[in-house]
Every structure is written in C-alpha cells, then in structure tokens.
C-alpha cells in the first residue's frame, strides 16, 4: 500500500521571510547600529520600547534581540552577540516560539492589573536555561493605568537576569513614567526604493516574474510597511499566476492607470468637464474606486507642486517616465496658486467622497467644482489688472468650458461681478470685449464698541455696581490717579488704602471686561482723590450760588441764613430747589 506524502502547509511570504537576525532587517540601520554598539560594549538596557507603524518589524526586532542576548554559539561558550548563530538550543527554541524563558504577552487581550501581577511574580525567579529571562509585551499601550502602575517598580529596578521589550504603535498612550525607564527605538517607515528591491529579491526566490513598475506600485501601496507589502506581493503572485504585470496589480489594487490620472487632471485643469466626467465613468466601470481616483489626483497634484518648487526632483531614479515627462510639462503650465487651490478642493472632495452615500457622485461634483475654479484669476491678479487700468475680458461661455461664467468661489476678500461698460450687472455669461471685472468690496464692519471703563470715575462706578464695597471705598477716598489708559492704570495709594488693592483691582477688571488690565503703583503725586474732587466741586457750586444775584437778595432779606445745598434744576425736581428745610435763619427755630 502506497502512502501519500502530504506537502507542508503553505506559509505566507510575511512569515516565510521574517528576518532572523539584524542583517535581515531593512530600513532600520540607526537602530541596528545602536544595538550593535550596546552589545559589543556590554551597555545593555534593562528595558526597551520599540515604536513604529504596523508591519515595520517591531515584534520581529524584539525576537531578534531575545536571540542576540541569549545566544551561546554552536559550541555553547558564546555570549551576547549581534549575529545570533541560529544553531544553539536557545536560538532554535526562540525562533520556534517554545523557549520557556522568553515569554510573549499580548497586551491587547491581557490588559488588567492581575495579568501584570502574574508577570511580576515570575520575575524574581532566575531563567531555566537561558542567560536572560525576557518578557516581550506587544501593543503595550493597551495596558490599563493600574497595570502600568503595578509594573513601574519592577521596571525601574528589575533583577539583573530580566529584560523587558515593549512594542507599540501608539507611543503617546504610554505613560511618561514608563517611557523614562526604557530605552526607546523608533522604527522608521521603509522607503519605496528599499521595499521594491526587497520585494524583487523575494519574488526571485519564489520564481515569480514581477515587473519593476508592479513592484514599485506594491511598495507605494505598502506605505512603508514591510508586512503589508509582502501580503500584497503574495496576493499579486496568486492573482497573476506567477507573472505579475503593472496592469494586473493596478486592477488588483483598484488603482487608475498613471497616464489616465494625468489625462484626467489635465482635462479638469483645462475646464473640459465633459471629457473629465467621461474618463471617471470609464475608470469606475473598469473597477476603479472613486475615492482612489481622488487620492491619485491628490498625489499627482502634490507631485506637480514639488516639481514647481524643485524641478530637479524629476531626475530621481525612482521617478517613472510618465511622472518625469508629463509632470514637467504640467508643472510648467500651471501656476502655484492654481495647484494649491486644486489641492485644497481635492482634499475637501476626498473627505466628502468618503462620507457620501454615493462616492462616485461626490467625486464627480468635486471635479466639477475644480474645473469651474481651475483658471480663475487670483485676487492679486484682479487687483493688479484693475490698478493698471486694464479690462479683464471673460472667455466666451457655453460648451464644455465652464470658466466663462465661473464665480470666484470665495478666493478673494470681495465679490467679483461681471458688468458691462455702463456698469449694469449681467445675469448670465458675459460676452464681447466690453465685459470687465469690477471688485465690490464687502461692507466694512462697524467698529466694536469700547470695552470696559473709559475713565477712573467709571472704574469706581463699576466696582460699586459689582458690590465690591471695600475697593470702591478706597478708590473714592484713598487713591490718587496718576495716569489712566484703557487696560492700564497708574495710581498712588493713600496711607489708609489696602496694599493689595492694585492686584485685586487688575484681576477684577480683567474678569469683568474680558481684556487684560494692569494696575501699577506710582510715586507721582497724582490727582486728588475722587472724594476730594467731589468736595471741591461742591464748594465751587456753593460759591457760584452765593454769587448769584437772586441768592444774594435772599440772604440779604433773611439775615443769618446760609446755603445748605445746591441742586441742578435740569436734573432734579424744581420743587426741591429751595425749601424751608434747605434755608436756615438765625431768627427762627
């Protein structure tokens, strides 16, 4: 009887080509150099924290560190090394995830303080067979606050035989008390060129033929993540049967052809909206995602802007022929104002497409808006043309060119109206050489009313209204004004005034008025107090009244009479001006 030998289960590329030593890590030269120097000099930290985006190699690096610290060499006499042998028992057991002294914990599923207590209990025991007992905690930011607090003391003073390695994608969620006790390594996003070369080497080992443009597209879609890129490469090889082309990868990812992206953006910038909508419909029917179409246009707009400010970037080795040739042509034909406005409108359209019930409709509306605004003059150009006395004719309307009747879209500070030479606004498109642009500035806003008191007298009244009796009393009788400005008061304190009056008054005025007030003490003599000013004013009123002929006649008619009170007839009751109670005579009791 013949036995059927089953083939080993398939391992995905992300697991099959996981690095087993530091030499296999790509794009992390700074971290490898630091760890190499630390291991060679024996300056090993007791805790490490590895941070970076998903799939960049945090857990893989933690396992490599564990192997490097526990490797004993093929002959069993080696020490910590930057190049683990991969042959000793420790290296093999760690690689197969079965070493009893290297424990991995997923903090996303074990977040509580009890899980950390269990870990701490095992810290005090020495390793069974390895040189160090190593705890690898993945997604450590998921631990609860109580769990972090329980870990602090052990993390600060661990036994010499224990090492902690933390991995996280959210470094800001880790308490600073934990970060300060760890040596931090930031794993960088891997560059597109490095990813493409790495994927090409793996494709060659897998006997798969992948076009360089397809590799670059996969690397770009990976966004710096090695694991994501290998998963896409694995999918592309399976999708294409081992012969991967750029078109097949584009179909798999739902991307638009790069040349078609240029055609679409060119049509929109020329105002040919009918052609642009037709191209979007063709790409959508071919399987392209409308959101991805806008993302491609955003990426192209960014590339054109970079070429506008730094043309030499088109000569990079990773730049494709389409980006180099057509990119230069479009960048030269578009102004910086047009590109920046296109970026803002596409970005807004992308957000709308992601949340709209129909992404295709939202994408089309975004392109319509961009086409209508693509060739509008900037506010600076309008003002310059008007200052120079030049008329700005509108292009003929109608057809597929929306620029003839396009409104300003809010780019300027005023409103732009199409008017004839007689100045009458036109309701429809403007034709002919007599059309001109007139800028109507928006109405100027009324100046805001003054905020807060405008005199020292009003400061006193405000304190009195706010029922600050002690401060109001001091302002009336014990404070001499030196200088008053809105927001700043200089005073001289009398001997009976509270010494903390300036601070209190400044704080209260700031709170009441909503603007900052500063009250300072000066050595200048200043004005008389408000009480003294009022008494002096009352004395002048009495003297003025005494000099009045009618009052002198009354005083002459009634010997011994005196003036007790002076009233203003304009503001008080006339009947109360002179009463028997207000006139004292020497004859009557």
Tokens linked to 577:
């001006």
Spatial distance between the Cα atoms of 451 and 462, rounded to a whole number of angstroms: 13
pLDDT of residue 317: 56
Res. 376: pLDDT tops 50: yes
From residue 508, how far is each of 164, 456, 464 by CA, in Å?
A: 54, 15, 12
Q: How many domains does the chain have?
A: 5
List the structure tokens of 73. Answer: 């060499």
- Whether residue 20 is found in the same domain as residue 156: yes
- 119 in a domain, yes or no? yes
- pLDDT at 579 exceeding the cut of 90: no
- Checking if the pLDDT of 386 tops 90, the result is no
Same domain for 17 and 149: yes
Please tell me the predicted confidence (pLDDT) of residue 360.
92
pLDDT for the residue 318: 58
Based on the domain organization, do 84 and 137 belong to the same domain?
yes
Q: Is the pLDDT of residue 298 over 60?
A: yes
Q: What is the pLDDT of residue 462?
A: 87
The answer to whether residues 476 and 460 touch, using CB atoms and an 8 Å cutoff, is yes
> Would you say residue 167 has pLDDT above 90?
yes
Residue 191: per-residue pLDDT: 87
Reading across the β-sheet that carries 102-106, which strands appear in turn? 102-106, 133-138, 162-168, 47-51, 183-186
What does the pLDDT read at residue 221? 81
Confidence of residue 362 (pLDDT cuts 50, 70, 90): very high
Q: Which residue has the higher pLDDT, 199 or 288?
A: 199
CATH classification at residue 220? 1.10.8.60
- The residue out of 133, 163, 186 marking a domain boundary is 186
Mean pLDDT of 543-564: 79
Confidence class of residue 361 from pLDDT cuts 50, 70 and 90?
very high
How much is the average pLDDT of 256-282? 86
Burial group, residue 444, by CB count within 10 angstroms (0-12, 13-18, 19+): exposed
Q: What's the mean pLDDT in 181-203?
A: 89
Confidence of residue 474 (pLDDT cuts 50, 70, 90): confident
Residue 410 pLDDT > 70, yes or no? no
Which residue, of 373, 392, 426, is where some domain finishes?
373
Give the residue among 77, 69, 72, 80 at the shortest CA–CA distance from 102.
69
Instruction: Indicate the helix (H) or strand (E) that contains 15.
Output: helix 13-16
pLDDT range class, residue 428, cuts 50, 70, 90: very low
Residue 395 counted as domain residue: no
Spatial distance between the Cα atoms of 179 and 358, rounded to a whole number of angstroms: 45
pLDDT at 577: 42
Which position has the higher pLDDT, 316 or 202?
A: 202
What is the C-alpha separation between 313 and 261, in angstroms, rounded?
20
End-to-end CA distance of the chain: 148
Does residue 214 carry a pLDDT above 60? yes
User: In angstroms, rounded to a whole number, what is the distance separating the alpha carbons of residues 411 and 251?
Assistant: 38
Residue 491's beta-bridge partner residues? 481, 521
- For residue 214, the SS3 value is helix
Residue 364 is predicted with a pLDDT of: 92
Q: Does residue 226 share a domain with residue 81?
A: no
Binned at pLDDT 50, 70 and 90, residue 431 comes out as very low
Q: Percentage of the chain surpassing pLDDT 90?
A: 12
Model confidence at 574, pLDDT cuts 50, 70, 90, reads: very low
Region 353-364: mean pLDDT is 92
Query: Does the pLDDT value for residue 12 go beyond 80?
Result: yes
Mean pLDDT along residues 166-191: 90
- Asked if residue 407 is part of any domain, the answer here is no
Residue 131, in any domain of the structure: yes
563: DSSP letter: E
What's the average model confidence in pLDDT over 561-575?
64
The CA distances from residue 341 to 64, 302, 346, 353, 430, in Å, are 48, 11, 9, 18, 24
Among 147, 170, 186, identify where a domain stops: 186
Q: Tell me, yes or no, whether 427 lies in a domain.
A: no
Domain around 120: 13-186
* Average pLDDT for 2-24: 75
The runs of H, that is alpha helices, within 170-286 are 176-179, 192-205, 212-222, 226-240, 246-253, 258-269, 273-285
Q: Are residue 584 and residue 559 in the same domain, yes or no?
A: yes
pLDDT band at 584 (very low <50, low <70, confident <90, very high): very low
Note whether residue 504 is domain-resident: yes
Residues 124 and 143 in one domain: yes
Whether 132 and 39 share a structural domain: yes
Q: Quote the Cα angle for 474-477-483, to 5°.
A: 80
Max CA pair span of the chain: 153
| All residues at 6 or more sequence positions from 286 whose CB lies less than 8 Å from its CB, including other chains | 251
pLDDT-based confidence at 375, cuts 50/70/90? Answer: low
- Across the range 542-547, mean pLDDT stands at 82
Residue range 89-116, pLDDT digits in tens: 888 888 888 888 899 888 888 888 888 8
- Which CATH number goes with the domain that contains 113? 3.40.50.300
pLDDT digits (tens, 9 = 90+) for 514-523: 888 888 888 8
DSSP string for 127-161: PSSSSSEEEEEETGGGS-HHHHHHHHHHHHS--TT
Rounded to the nearest 5°, which phi and psi values hold at 585? Answer: -115, 155
Q: Residue 362 belongs to a domain with what CATH number? A: 1.20.272.10
| pLDDT score at 165 | 93
Is 413 within the bounds of a domain? no
Please state, rounded to an integer, the average pLDDT across all residues of the chain: 79
Contact (Cβ atoms closer than 8 angstroms) between residue 163 and residue 134? yes
Give 78-89 pLDDT, tens digit per residue.
888 888 888 888
pLDDT at 397 over 60: no
Q: Are residues 31 and 144 in the same domain?
A: yes
Query: pLDDT band at 135, cuts 50/70/90?
Result: very high
What pLDDT does 563 receive? 77
Kindly state whether residues 111 and 165 are assigned to the same domain. yes
CB 494 within 8 A of CB 478: yes
320 in a structural domain: yes
In a shared domain, residues 238 and 349: no
Over residues 44-80, the pLDDT tens digits come to: 889 999 998 888 889 899 999 999 998 888 888 888 8
Asked whether residue 22 falls in the same domain as residue 133, the answer is yes
For residue 488, the cross-strand partners are: 485, 518
Q: Tell me: the pLDDT tens digits for 494-511?
A: 888 888 888 888 888 888
Q: Dihedral through CA 307, CA 309, CA 311, CA 315, nearest 10? A: -70
pLDDT value of residue 13: 86
Can you point out the beta strands (E) in 449-571? 479-485, 488-493, 518-521, 562-563
Question: What confidence tier does 137 reach under pLDDT thresholds 50, 70, 90?
Answer: very high
Same domain, 368 and 284: yes
Q: Beta-carbon neighbour count of residue 122 at 10 Å?
A: 11
Give 28's DSSP letter.
-
Q: Which is higher by pLDDT, 339 or 375?
A: 339
């Amino acid at each position: 009887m013949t036995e059927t030998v089953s083939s080993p289960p398939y391992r995905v590329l992300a697991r099959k080509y996981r690095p087993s030593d530091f030499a296999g890590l790509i794009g992390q030269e700074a971290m490898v150099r630091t760890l190499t120097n630390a291991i060679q000099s024996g300056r090993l930290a007791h805790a490490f924290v590895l941070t970076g985006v998903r799939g960049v190699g945090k857990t893989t690096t933690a396992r490599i560190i564990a192997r490097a610290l526990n490797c004993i060499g093929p002959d069993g006499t080696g020490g910590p090394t930057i190049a683990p042998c991969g042959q000793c028992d420790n290296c093999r057991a760690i690689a197969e995830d079965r070493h009893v002294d290297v424990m991995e914990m997923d903090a996303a599923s074990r977040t509580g303080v009890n899980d950390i207590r269990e870990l701490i209990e095992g810290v005090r025991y020495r390793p069974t067979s390895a040189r160090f007992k190593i705890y690898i905690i993945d997604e450590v930011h998921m631990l609860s606050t109580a769990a972090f607090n329980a870990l602090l003391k052990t993390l600060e003073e661990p036994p010499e035989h224990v090492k902690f390695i933390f991995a996280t994608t959210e470094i800001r969620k880790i308490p600073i008390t934990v970060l300060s006790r760890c040596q931090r390594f930031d794993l960088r996003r891997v560059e597109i060129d490095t990813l493409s070369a790495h994927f090409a080497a793996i494709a060659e080992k897998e006997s798969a033929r992948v076009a360089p443009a397809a590799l670059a597209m996969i690397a770009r879609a990976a966004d710096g993540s090695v694991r994501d890129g290998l998963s896409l490469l694995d999918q592309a090889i399976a999708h294409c049967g081992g012969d991967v082309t750029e078109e097949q990868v584009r179909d798999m990812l739902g991307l638009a052809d790069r040349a078609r992206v240029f055609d679409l953006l060119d049509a929109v910038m020329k105002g040919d909206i009918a052609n642009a909508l037709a191209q979007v419909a063709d790409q959508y029917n071919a399987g392209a995602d409308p959101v991805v179409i806008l993302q491609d246009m955003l990426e192209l707009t960014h590339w054109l802007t970079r070429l506008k400010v730094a043309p030499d970037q088109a000569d990079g080795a990773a730049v494709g022929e389409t980006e180099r040739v057509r990119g230069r042509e479009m960048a030269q034909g578009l102004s910086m104002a047009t590109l920046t406005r296109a970026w803002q409108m596409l970005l807004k359209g992308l957000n709308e497409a992601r949340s709209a019930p129909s992404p295709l409709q939202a994408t089309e509306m975004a392109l319509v808006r961009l086409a209508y605004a693509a060739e509008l003059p900037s506010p600076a150009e309008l003002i310059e043309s008007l200052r120079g006395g030049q008329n700005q004719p509108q292009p003929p309307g109608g057809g597929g060119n929306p620029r003839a009747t396009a409104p300003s879209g809010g780019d300027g500070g005023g409103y732009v109206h199409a008017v004839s030479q007689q100045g009458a606004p036109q309701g429809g498109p403007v034709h002919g050489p007599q059309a001109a642009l007139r800028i109507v500035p928006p109405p100027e806003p009324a100046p805001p009313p003054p905020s807060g008191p405008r005199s020292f007298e009003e400061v006193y009244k405000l304190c009195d209204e706010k029922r600050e009796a002690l401060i109001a009393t001091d302002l009336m009788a014990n404070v001499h004004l030196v200088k008053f400005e809105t927001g700043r008061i200089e005073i001289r304190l009398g001997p009976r005034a509270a010494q903390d009056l300036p601070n209190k008054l400044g704080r209260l005025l700031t709170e009441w008025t909503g603007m900052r007030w500063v009250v300072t003490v000066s050595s200048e003599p200043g004005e008389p107090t408000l009480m003294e000013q009022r008494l002096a004013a009352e004395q002048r009123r009495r003297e003025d009244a005494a000099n009045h002929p009618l009052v002198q006649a009354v005083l002459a008619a009634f010997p011994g009479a005196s003036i007790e009170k002076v009233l203003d007839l304009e503001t008080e009751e006339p009947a109360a001006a002179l009463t028997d109670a207000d006139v004292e005579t020497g004859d009557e009791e």
